[in-house]
Amino acid sequence: MICVALPGLVVSAAHGQLTGQGLEGFYRGGRRVLSRCRLRVAGREPLTVRATTTDAATAHFVGTVRASPVGQPDPDIVVERTRHADGTEHITLRSAATRPVRLPVEVALGTDLGDLAAIAAGRSGPDLPATVHDGGLRWSRATTHAAVTARPAPADALAAAGLLRWEFELPPGGTATVELRVRSESAAPTTARAVGHTANSPIAPARATCDDPTPAALLRRSVQDVRALLLRDLTRPADVYLAAGAPWRCGLAPADALAAARMALPLGTRLAAGTLRILARTQIQGQDRRSGMIPGPRRDAGTHLPPSCTGTEATLLFPILLAEARRWGLPERETEELLPAAERCLAWLRSTVGDGTYLVEPQPDGPVRCETQAHAHRAALLGADLLDTCGRPGAEELRQWAGHLGTAFHEDFWLDDPGGGRPAAARTPDGRLLSHLTAQTAHLLDTGLLGEGRHAPGLLDESRTAQLARLLAGPAMDSGWGLRGLGAKEPGFNPFGHRSGAVRVHETAIAVAGLTAGGHEQEASTLLHGVLAAAEAFDHRLPEMYAGRQRDDSGGPLPHPAACRPSAGAAAAGVLLLTSVAGIRPDAPARTVTLRPLRSAPLGEIALSDLRVCGAPFAVRVSRQGLALVEEAADELQLRL
């Protein structure tokens, strides 16, 4: 049970005790500030009967204790624990005994002040010695300190044993409450700080009502998780971004942050603007071949290809996000401010391609990846549109190259076979095509939003797009819970493989959105229902990925042990999935919005409210007949048919 309010998080087992085993504990900035918090009431550990997460940051545990003499079978003390990722825990004892009871209560505390990465690798250290401090306990290691304070103050604080003790007298029906507060101090520099829960949140409080309760619960949880993963830049507090996910990736991952901000555009443009400004400050400048790139680390690409450079993906996503954020309502002043960085990204694209056709991976003898060409093609067309509308040069050159890429891609990347053909996953430097079918081909369906509610043309023609739609919705790729990363019949398929078979939620959402935009409603609906079923199995908090095992009657999807949950990509994917059903295509500069809902209405009637278009609340309803109606919008925003 992971609760997040970055830079704080807490990992609990379902029994509610923090034992120090595995990842359990309170964390702050990647440091475990408390690993053990074991409660005993009347000499016994409570028997937990319910454990729930009430929101992204809070877990609630209910347990019972029998405090009456032996011979009484019924528990008579209810113990409730509310644990928050900000470092607080409230313990409430409620007596159902028929006579007054004396309750000794003790909490055993400890910590190793370990680093999350070391703990995840199984290298946690021993508990540190404690000292009594401010009515609680304190631990130190080098320049890092952690302390737990309690209210009311304990009757005893035993440093050697790491114990805080109280003794309460509860009348029949009486209650007692203990508050524990975990604090940390470190001399290590930090780069981010919490956004917090304020009325002026950069994330709109989007809501859904639907014939099926699952979409409403998914959107509610997605918005909660997006807010929980928000961080502020330390030097520019107005700029916010999304950490990639908890517990493993609580920092800035450029490509992931840009992709999540793009999928979350229906919640407002402030996240996109902050993410773009932060990454613009990291952009490489100078005269070398990397000038204009947004730096990013390597990413595993599975069993068939060498690692890919996420810097390439981030550099291409930058102008895409800026162009689409402008359509959703990013103010012109902010667009102008970010335009030079976008131009540098596009200049890097053109200089890297040079006189060639394809964007090649930067490592020596790197492959030409299918999805990289899709990103580059989209960046060129949306970037050209952005340059044109902002009165900047260079648009025509980008469009000409995109057209040349499209022609060549048809000839060089399509594999004909008796089943109707497929796009190749990659092309090696010697021209050999890698034929394995992957979920990354879904990026060929994602062409990007232009003005007047139009989508940019893609790298595939209509018939090949229809064939790809059939492949993605077929049994080899569709697990029944979402899109497998690698087809089940491909060599090297592993249902738990990061890039070789696991279902990655954001790629399924990209496929659903692309299929919807292209008019392939049946295939989009099939994948959509699979992800919604998975969301229900995961208590509506979709993890970053889960096993690509075929759906059957044996239970829900299998969790992936290395998945982030919550994950920025998965949370934002929940937003994209549901707004795709309504087909919202805004053009803020033209003060218009186009609606292209799924005519088959796969979710029945659905209403989405408290979205943001042009910076104002936006609400839309899609009927059971697949007809869309705008119920709330900015003044002067016109519906375009």
Residues 22 and 75 in one domain: yes
* 411, 349 Cβ separation under 8 angstroms: no
Q: What is the dihedral of CA 372, 374, 378, 381, to 10 degrees?
A: 100
Is residue 641 a part of any domain in this protein? no
Domain span including residue 471: 207-632
Q: What is the CATH number of the domain that holds 64?
A: 2.70.98
Is residue 42 a part of any domain in this protein? yes
pLDDT at 288: 84
Instruction: Compute the distance between CA of residue 426 and CA of residue 302 in angstroms, rounded to an integer.
Output: 13
Q: What are phi and psi of 435, to 5 degrees?
A: -95, 0
* 37, 109 Cβ separation under 8 angstroms: yes
Q: What are phi and psi of 489, to 5 degrees?
A: -95, 0
pLDDT at 307: 85
Q: What share of the chain is helix, strand, coil (3-state, %, to 5)?
A: 30, 30, 40
Percentage with pLDDT > 90 across the chain: 83
Please tell me what DSSP assigns to residue 113.
-
Of the three residues 128, 162, 190, the one that is the final residue of a domain is: 190
CA separation, residue 488 to residues 414, 422, 478, 550 (Å):
20, 15, 9, 9
Q: What is the CATH number of the domain that holds 588?
A: 1.50.10.10
Residues 118 and 250 in one domain: no
Question: Which is nearest to 66 in space by CA: 101, 35, 25?
Answer: 101
Residues 227 and 116 in one domain: no
Residues 342 and 296 in one domain: yes
* 267, 254 Cβ separation under 8 angstroms: no
With vertex at residue 570, the alpha carbon angle to CA 513 and CA 305, rounded to the nearest 5 degrees, is: 80
Residues 525 and 483 in one domain: yes
Is residue 239 a part of any domain in this protein? yes
Query: At 391, is the secondary structure helix, strand, or coil?
Result: coil
Please tell me what DSSP assigns to residue 608.
E
pLDDT at 434: 93
DSSP 194-259: E----TT-SS---EEEESSHHHHHHHHHHHHHHHHTEEEESS-TT-EEE-SBTTTB-S--HHHHHH
Say whether the peptide bond before residue 152 is cis (omega within 30 degrees of 0).
yes
Is residue 196 a part of any domain in this protein? no
Query: At 297, is the secondary structure helix, strand, or coil?
Result: coil
Residues 186 and 244 in one domain: no
pLDDT at 188: 60
Query: At 434, is the secondary structure helix, strand, or coil?
Result: strand
Question: Which is nearest to 497 in space by CA: 573, 439, 578, 441?
Answer: 439
The answer on pLDDT for 191 being more than 80 is: no
Is residue 199 a part of any domain in this protein? no
Is residue 472 a part of any domain in this protein? yes
Q: What is the 3-state secondary structure (H, E, C) of 461-479?
A: CHHHHHHHHHHHCCCCCEC
Query: At 301, is the secondary structure helix, strand, or coil?
Result: coil
pLDDT single digits (tens) 414-471: 999 998 999 999 999 888 999 999 999 999 999 999 999 999 999 999 999 999 999 9
Average pLDDT across the chain, whole number: 93
pLDDT single digits (tens) 526-551: 999 999 999 999 999 999 999 999 99
Instruction: Compute the distance between CA of residue 527 and CA of residue 553 in angstroms, rounded to an integer.
Output: 18
Residue 286: partners with Cβ closer than 8 Å, 6 or more residues away: none
- For 580, the token pair is 């795709």
Residues 94 and 124 in one domain: yes
pLDDT at 335: 97
Residues 34 and 158 in one domain: yes
Residues 260 and 179 in one domain: no
pLDDT single digits (tens) 343-399: 999 999 999 999 989 999 877 678 999 999 999 999 999 999 999 999 999 999 999
Instruction: Compute the distance between CA of residue 508 and CA of residue 482 in angstroms, rounded to an integer.
Output: 6
The answer on pLDDT for 69 being more than 80 is: no
Residue 92: partners with Cβ closer than 8 Å, 6 or more residues away: 79, 80, 81, 82, 175, 176, 177
What are the strands of the beta sheet with 616-622, ordered from one edge?
207-210, 606-613, 616-622, 628-632
pLDDT at 324: 98
Query: At 463, is the secondary structure helix, strand, or coil?
Result: helix
Cβ-based neighbour number of residue 136 at 10 Å? 22
Instruction: Compute the distance between CA of residue 614 and CA of residue 601 in angstroms, rounded to an integer.
Output: 26
Least confident of 107-121, 179-193, 392-406: 179-193
Instruction: Provide the residue type at 172 as one letter.
Output: P
The answer on pLDDT for 154 being more than 70 is: yes
Cβ-based neighbour number of residue 182 at 10 Å? 25
Could you tell me the pLDDT band of residue 201, with boundaries at 50, 70 and 90?
confident
Residues 357 and 434 in one domain: yes
- For 390, the token pair is 């902002």
Instruction: Compute the distance between CA of residue 558 and CA of residue 488 in angstroms, rounded to an integer.
Output: 16
pLDDT single digits (tens) 242-273: 999 999 888 899 999 999 999 999 999 999 99
> What H or E segment, with its residue span, contains residue 622?
strand 616-622
Rg (CA), the chain: 27
Residue 170: partners with Cβ closer than 8 Å, 6 or more residues away: 77, 93, 95, 97, 100, 101, 103, 176
Question: Which is nearest to 65 in space by CA: 16, 131, 109?
Answer: 16
Question: Which is nearest to 244 in space by CA: 345, 144, 314?
Answer: 314
Quote the number of domains for the chain: 2
* 167, 102 Cβ separation under 8 angstroms: yes
The strand pairing partners of 41, in sequence order, are: 44, 105
Instruction: Compute the distance between CA of residue 119 and CA of residue 248 in angstroms, rounded to an integer.
Output: 11
Residues 130 and 219 in one domain: no
pLDDT at 338: 98
Residues 165 and 244 in one domain: no
